[in-house]
Amino acid sequence: MLQRSSDYDHPPADEHTGTAVGRWSQPTVDLREMARILLRRWKIAAVAPAALVALALIYVMAADTLYTATSTVLVDPRRANVVDTTQTVLSNFGTDDATIESQTLLIQSVAILQRVVEKLKLTSDPEFSPEPGLLDPIKRLFRSSPPADGASPEDAATANSVDILQRRMKVTRQGTTFLVDINVSSEEPKKAATIANAIAEGYFEEQVRAKSDATRIAANWLNSQIDGLKSRVVSSERAVEDFRSANNLAVSQGVTVNDQQITDLNNKIIAARVQTAEAKAKYDQVQQLAKTGGDPGGINAALSSETIAKLRAQYADIAKNEADLSSKYGVRHPLVANVRAQLKDTQRLINDEIRRVLESTKHDYDVAKSREASLQQSFDQLQGVSSTSGQAQVRLHELQREAEANRTLYESYLARYKETTAQESLEMPDSRVVTRASVPIRPSSPKSKLILGLALMLGLGIGCVIAFLADYLDRRVKTLEQAENITGVPALAALPAIGARELAGRAKRGRNELEHYDPRTVRLLPPSLQPPLMRYAIDEPGTFFAEAIRAVRLSIQRTMRIQPIKVILVTSSLDSEGKTTLASNLALSLATLGIKTLLIDGDLRNPALTRALCPHADAGLLEVATGVAPLERAVHFDRNSGLSILPSPVVKNVDIITELMFSEQMGDILDHLRQRYELIIIDSPPLVPLVDGRALAELSDRIVLAVGWDQTPQEVLTHTIGLLGPVHDRILGTVLTRVDLSRLRFYDYYRSSAYLKPYGTASLGQGAAS
């Protein structure tokens, strides 16, 4: 905390890590730094959650307590049909998401809510008909559209009640199901359940009413169409009959008589042609046998004749008898001769029968040809008549089709009208209640825990953002690392702030010696009468404050071993940054080591060091430099510490001060003092507002820059380093002054009091008080 690690010789980090340093990149988000920001800005971060929680608490206490009742409705796509019809007038709605969402919006429609308001008489309920408030005129200014001038008070009251009911209800679909929840909130639990159930019933009534209206409209339209269709059917059928009578187009079994006769004759001609072909085939076979001399008994007609078959059977019996008699009596026996005569007669009869069959084939062929010719002649005559009446039949068919179409349309409308009339009194809703709303037992609003929790979480988020923003916008120097990064020179130490209570206690101890002090004989205040802070490092050597002064002293001693330096300038960017306290304690610390040290008050315009240590001095730096007073008279010696002090009494002529800083006299006096003292500490004026300090910086060997902790803006410190550009190589380092060690741990834990507590003593803890 009190001393930078750079005060000691350590090898650079890249010598140990090698190329690994180039590969590793520091994370952009440092969680530890974020935590430290919240800890050091906790008051700012706590304002937003405290305010929001307070507002949420006020809202919870002031808001009306509401109870929510829920009625669950099933939007059922399967609709019960009492009448056996294939299609309803208003068909069942679909099952897609858009349809279900449309039904959800329908439940919240003004038409249904108006019916509920009128049914439950909510216009007379104070909850749904609020009294005019003081803010109503202001609210009317922000309305999108003013109410209609012609609206009656009853309509306005109903509209207000509907508007309030819409805000008090919420209709939601359960996931992707057909279930819809109707949630209604009210100040009374029973009223909430009653309204929720009434909305569900109103929704069912609206469905039934819409279907009844659609069915009634369809029935009236169908009835008006039926009369016209009936007259069209009668006129079209009469036109068919009149045309048929005028053109002698008699109809039998749906076709004209002429067409029926043609069809019959055509069938007979086909049959006659088949018979003629069969007769011709038989005749051709007989002619072929006659030419070739073959046995005519082998033709099909002879084989199929029963008479020939009997004669052949008789012939076979006689031939068998002949064979028996011949073998028994011999061929010359009279019985054998008689049997042979019977065989000849039988053979003759067979031949006669065959001849008759052959003659009948020619007769059958002639008859078949004659019949076919007759039928063909009749068919040709009827076909001629049909061709002459074809044009009339085309027109007749056209009239028949028109009459049939009119009849079909009329029958369809008539059946639909009867079905619609039957459905008109049997319409049913497409939805049903799954769960009726019951009286709630616990309030649903306001949700105190949720509101307070959200307010707390939101407040914490806003508070954190504000804390981060405030820390980002705070450009004051807070850590030694910041001072190093801005100035480019080492940060030597952090000088703790001393508590006002402790300083006041030490000041009281010096009041006892005030009576023995005579400013006429003693120009330098005794240690007990000096401001406690001006010599705190030697009075309390075990404190963090003294440790920080020793760290700065160590840096000076190390530099003195390397280079012959004599003059150390202690300065700051602005006034009241603790440079005088730092210069006084640093000079005392060096003097206690036996180093012959001179402390010069170089701030001639505001000589705070002189006022603190020797307020009654009559000669100082200006008088010595101008030769008005000798050095021995102007320098005061502190016997307790061995420190020499060259004050600067107040100078009224400011022009002399400015010229003195840039004159050769100032350089000469410093050269003279270099020879008499080992080390000279100059308390310089601030660098930014005055040019005196910059002139002294060019006359000094080393510069120690005091930076007020949580006081000096980074931009001012950067500007100060720019002003010291010509002597930048002489800057020994920076010292943070008035550091609050308890807060420093939220910026730099390892240089705060928390890191040194294990090594601290009672005196250390006391000195760290702030």
- Alpha helices by DSSP H, listed for 563-620, are 579-592, 608-613
pLDDT of 566 reads: 94
Q: State the pLDDT at residue 83.
A: 44
The whole-number average pLDDT for the span 321-332 is 75
Mean pLDDT of 442-467: 90
pLDDT reported for residue 50: 93
As a whole number of angstroms, the distance between CA 720 and CA 715 comes to 9
**Across residues 487-497, what is the average pLDDT?**
92
Asked if residues 405 and 412 have their Cβ atoms less than 8 Å apart, the reply is no
Residue 423: the pLDDT is: 63
H helical segments located in 92-168: 97-107, 110-120, 136-141, 153-168
**Which of 535, 493, 487, 463 minimizes the C-alpha distance to 45?**
463
More confidently predicted of 340 and 577:
577
User: Residue 644: beta bridge partners?
Assistant: 598, 637
Over residues 336-342, mean pLDDT? 77
Close Cβ partners of 44 (under 8 Å, ≥ 6 residues apart): 463, 466, 467, 470
Mean pLDDT of 236-252: 73
Identify whether the C-beta of residue 678 lies closer than 8 Å to the C-beta of residue 595: yes
* pLDDT greater than 60 at residue 687: yes
Task: Determine what percent of the chain is predicted with pLDDT higher than 90.
Answer: 26
Most confident listed range (274-283, 382-391, 620-629, 719-728): 719-728
Residue 259 CA neighbour count, 13 Å, CB half: 13
Please give the Cα distance from 294 to 286 (Å, whole number).
10
Buried b (16+ CB within 10 A) or exposed e, 613-634: bbbebebbbbbbbeeeeebeeb
- CB contact at 8 A, 704 and 570: yes
pLDDT of residue 278: 75
Calculate mean pLDDT across residues 397-415: 83
pLDDT at residue 659 in the model: 76
What is the average per-residue pLDDT within 340-368?
76
Residue 768 — very low, low, confident or very high, per pLDDT cuts 50/70/90? very low
Kindly report the CA angle at 161 between 155 and 164, in degrees rounded to 5? 140
d(CA 621, CA 571): 17
> What does pTM read for this prediction?
0.57
Split at pLDDT 50, 70, 90, the class of 372 is confident
146 vs 689: which has the higher pLDDT: 689
pLDDT, residue 286, reads 65
Span between the terminal Cα atoms of the chain, in Å: 16
Element (H, E) at 456: helix 448-473
Using a 10 angstrom Cβ sphere, with 0-12 exposed, 13-18 middle and 19 or more buried, the burial of residue 597 is: buried
The mean pLDDT value for 642-655 works out to: 84
Q: Is the dihedral of CA 739, 743, 745, 746 positive or negative?
A: negative
For residue 658, pLDDT beyond 80: no
User: What are residue 681's DSSP bridge partners?
Assistant: 568, 599
State how far the alpha carbon of 528 is from the alpha carbons of 520, 539, 588, 638, 770, in Å.
18, 10, 15, 12, 21
What confidence tens digit (pLDDT) does each residue in 196-231 have? 999 989 888 888 888 777 777 877 887 788 878 888
Rounded-to-integer distance, Cα 295 and Cα 293, Å: 7
What is the residue-averaged pLDDT of the chain? 79
Return the higher-pLDDT residue of 672 and 309: 672
Angle of CA points 764, 768, 770, to nearest 5°: 160
Who has greater pLDDT, 317 or 506?
A: 317
Q: 643 by DSSP, 3-state: which?
A: strand
Query: What are the tokens at 181?
Result: 């929840």
pLDDT of residue 569: 95
- b/e per residue 270-288 (b: at least 16 CB within 10 A): eebeebbeebeebbebbee
| Alpha carbons 491 and 748: distance in angstroms, whole number | 13
Cβ count near 603 (within 10 Å): 27
Distance CA 544, CA 586 (A): 14
Please determine, for residue 367, whether its predicted confidence score (pLDDT) is greater than 50: yes
| Distant-in-sequence, close-in-space partners of 119: CB < 8 Å, separation ≥ 6 | 198, 202
Q: What is the mean pLDDT of residues 183-200?
A: 91
pLDDT of residue 136: 62
Structure tokens at 490: 């080492």
Where does the pLDDT of residue 500 fall: very low under 50, low under 70, confident under 90, or very high at 90 and above?
confident
Averaged pLDDT, 356-380: 77
Q: Which range, 443-457, 650-664, 734-748, is most confident?
A: 443-457
Lowest-confidence region among 114-118, 346-350, 712-716: 346-350
pLDDT at residue 385 tops 50: yes
Higher pLDDT, 512 or 606: 606
664-676 and 692-699 helices, crossing angle to 10°: 50
DSSP 4: -
Task: Cis check for the bond before 153: say yes or no (omega within 30 of 0).
Answer: no
Query: What is the C-alpha separation between 691 and 596, in angstroms, rounded?
Result: 29
pLDDT in tens, 696-728: 999 999 999 999 998 999 999 999 999 999 999
Q: Which residue has the tokens 């072929």?
A: 288
Q: Residue 705 pairs with which residues in a beta bridge? A: 571, 734
- Tokens representing 708 are 């007020």
> Binning pLDDT at 50, 70 and 90, where does residue 518 land?
low
| Residue recorded with tokens 């939101």 | 458
17 has a pLDDT exceeding 60: no
- Which residue has better confidence, 337 or 113? 113
Q: Is the pLDDT of residue 141 over 70?
A: no
Q: State the Cα–Cα distance between residues 64 and 92, nearest whole angstrom.
A: 42
Tokens representing residue 383 in the block: 């076909």
At 594 the pLDDT is 92
Rg over alpha carbons for the chain, rounded to the nearest Å, is 66
Dist. CA 197–CA 682, nearest whole Å: 92
Report helix, strand or coil for 249: coil
pLDDT digits (tens, 9 = 90+) for 660-676: 877 888 888 999 999 99
What pLDDT does residue 22 have? 41
pLDDT at 686 (0 to 100): 94
Separation between Cα atoms, residue 444 and residue 450, nearest integer Å: 11
- Return the percentage of the chain with pLDDT > 70, whole number: 78
Confidence class for position 51, pLDDT limits 50, 70, 90: very high
Q: How far is CA 235 from the centre of its chain?
A: 69
- Number of C-beta neighbours around residue 546 at 10 A: 22
pLDDT winner (highest mean) among 76-90, 410-424, 710-724: 710-724
Predicted pLDDT of residue 288: 67
